[in-house]
Amino acid sequence: MKIICVCGFGVGSSLILKMKVAEVLKEEGFDVKVEAQDVTSASGTDAKLIFASKEIANQIKKVKCPIIEIHNFLNKQEIREKGVPVVRKLLAEL
């Protein structure tokens, strides 16, 4: 299952978010691939789930997969609380 973290250019903040999301999902025992991507290419993504800031989420609303908005990219608890139930549900549907 492909999960992407999105920022304006896919090299800075999304990379940081990717590191934290991957850390949390690994701790939770999920075997998923997390990538960082820029907002333009993310609009046409085939990912099953997106993590992004509120601002970026608003710009890619049309994507087919769920988007999880993260306020604090360094807060593993926020990522865990918002992300884990969704990842679990998506994996169950595979």
Partner 1 sequence: MLNQFLTENVIKVQQHVNSWQEAIQLGGALLLKTEAIEENYIQAMIDAVHKHGPYIAIAPGIAIAHAAPGKFVNDDAISLVTLKEAVAIGHDTNDPIHLFFVVAAKSNEGHLTFLQELVTILSDDKSLGILKTGNKEAVLALFQ
Residue numbers at the binding site for partner 1 (CB under 8 A): 7-13, 15-20, 35-36, 38-39, 52-56, 58-59, 71-76
* Closer CB to partner 1, 75 or 90, in the complex: 75
Output 19-22 pairs: Cβ under 8 A, ≥24 positions apart.
20/73, 20/74, 20/76, 20/79, 21/51, 21/79, 21/83
Q: How far is the CB of 9 from partner 1 (least distance, A)?
A: 5
Distance between CA atoms of residues 91 and 10, nearest Å:
25
Nearer to partner 1, 74 or 91 (CB): 74
Judged by CB, which is closer to partner 1: 12, or 66? 12
Retrieve residue 60's tokens.
Answer: 């890619």
Task: Tell me the closest approach of the beta carbon of residue 92 to partner 1, in angstroms.
Answer: 29
